[in-house]
Amino acid sequence: MNYDFAMLGGGAAGLSLALALARSPYRDKSILIVEKDAKETNDRTWCFWTDVPTPVDAIARAVWPKLRFVGESVDRTFTLAPFRYQMIRGLDFYRAARQELGQHNVTFVQAAGEVQDGEASALVRADGREYEAAWVFDSRVRPGDVVPSPRCSYLKQHFTGWEVETEAPAFDPNVVTLFDLRTPQRGGVTFFYLLPFSERRALVEYTLFSPGLLPPEDYEAALRGYLEGLSAGRTRILEVERGVIPMTDHPFPRRLGRRVMAVGTRGGRVKPSTGYAFARIQRDSACIVASLLRTGEPFDVPPDARRHRFHDSILLEVLASEPERGRPVLEAIFRRNPIQPVLRFLDDRSSLVDDLGVIAAAPTGPFLRALGRLASKRLV
């Protein structure tokens, strides 16, 4: 069977690109989506900030106009305008995407897949069948895809989250808490992340930026302690989510062959120093479609700006080599800046003026030492 486009992986990256194609002049082209999981459960949530309308606004679980940052020496609540902070449930996105794509020439195959590159097309093998596609987009990250390099930093953002309902009011539904750093730092930046849906219902996550994971019971004990500190009476756990997100400045090649392109995490679309990916995936999908329309192939997408990758590498070096400095660095940045330039800085959309303001607020010692270590690593 022949297809114009094939997606290996039907998560955020594969579905987002398929949607971008279906909403473009390629709307009548054939698309194959190969995904081994049924995607019928809420296996994750995605959050992002934006100052423009997005294609997923209609399925947002919640939108917050304010953001709170809490540390040992700072407690600030910011009004985000013109930005807003938005949450998308994985299950809602999967269902909406499949419903929309079902109106187009899209075939879903639930299976693990493999791809063989070719000159004029690529061959996808899945569920005992072979499919030919003009272009294949691969979002799967498998063991061996990343061979660690001494020139790069490697951390994990790992977390356990509980959606809870409390007996008494405990939350402000207008304010998302991005960082609550008032907790022991366990080998890296350690914090609680709070997404309130009402005064009595919220998603609470215990999150760490560190090289290794904790035993499952440690995340749960931290969450119990946090919730007990709210003094909100009995708490009922409604849903549980767990995740591990790579935080690395390792280079991810976009071109995997003549007819195969890496997207999503495999294409380096996870922001190295924050772990955010959803909004970056949407922008990348639009750029891939634009490249196809402009050049007839998908690879002519803008590279990440060097200064933004340099900022990521420096911050990761601080977090990896001096983990005890992570909390004071974040506190300084959020204490001394308006929120809007910080969000632009964290989203690779900052101006040089924004960059200078954020950098000037941070303590210089850790960054100068990180710069020296980074220079030594890059000379190896």
Place of tokens 């390629």: 26
Is the same domain home to 240 and 255? no
| Average pLDDT for the chain | 95
Is the same domain home to 10 and 121? yes
Which residues have C-beta within 8 Å of that of residue 116, sequence separation ≥ 6?
122, 123, 124, 125
Reported as a single tens digit per residue, the pLDDT across 225-280 is 999 999 899 999 999 999 999 999 999 999 999 999 999 999 999 999 999 999 99
Is the same domain home to 112 and 198? no
Residue 142's pLDDT band (cuts 50, 70, 90): confident
Reported residue count of the chain is: 380
Reported as a single tens digit per residue, the pLDDT across 35-76 is 999 999 998 999 999 999 999 999 999 999 999 999 998 999
Which residues have C-beta within 8 Å of that of residue 122, sequence separation ≥ 6?
6, 115, 116, 132, 133, 134, 135, 136, 257, 259, 260
Q: Judge whether 58 lies within some domain.
A: no
Is the same domain home to 231 and 269? no
DSSP state of 148: -
Q: So what's the pLDDT on residue 377?
A: 81
Is the same domain home to 12 and 32? yes
Give dist(CA 129, CA 2) in Å, integer.
12
In this prediction the pTM is 0.94
Is the same domain home to 138 and 237? no
Residues of the chain with pLDDT > 90, as a percent, come to: 93
Give me the CATH number covering residue 97: 3.50.50.60
Give dist(CA 224, CA 325) in Å, integer.
26
Residue 144 has pLDDT above 90, yes or no: no
Q: Judge whether 51 lies within some domain.
A: no
Reported as a single tens digit per residue, the pLDDT across 328-359 is 999 999 999 999 999 999 999 999 999 999 98
Q: Which domain holds residue 109?
A: 2-42+88-146+251-295
Q: So what's the pLDDT on residue 263?
A: 98
Give dist(CA 126, CA 130) in Å, integer.
7
Residue 79 has pLDDT above 90, yes or no: yes
Is the same domain home to 15 and 106? yes
Residue 379 has pLDDT above 80, yes or no: no
Give dist(CA 77, CA 361) in Å, integer.
18
| Exposure of 171 in the CB half-sphere (CA atoms within 13 A) | 27
Is the same domain home to 198 and 244? yes
Total tally of structural domains belonging to the chain: 3
Is the same domain home to 111 and 187? no
Is the same domain home to 183 and 236? yes
Is the same domain home to 219 and 355? no
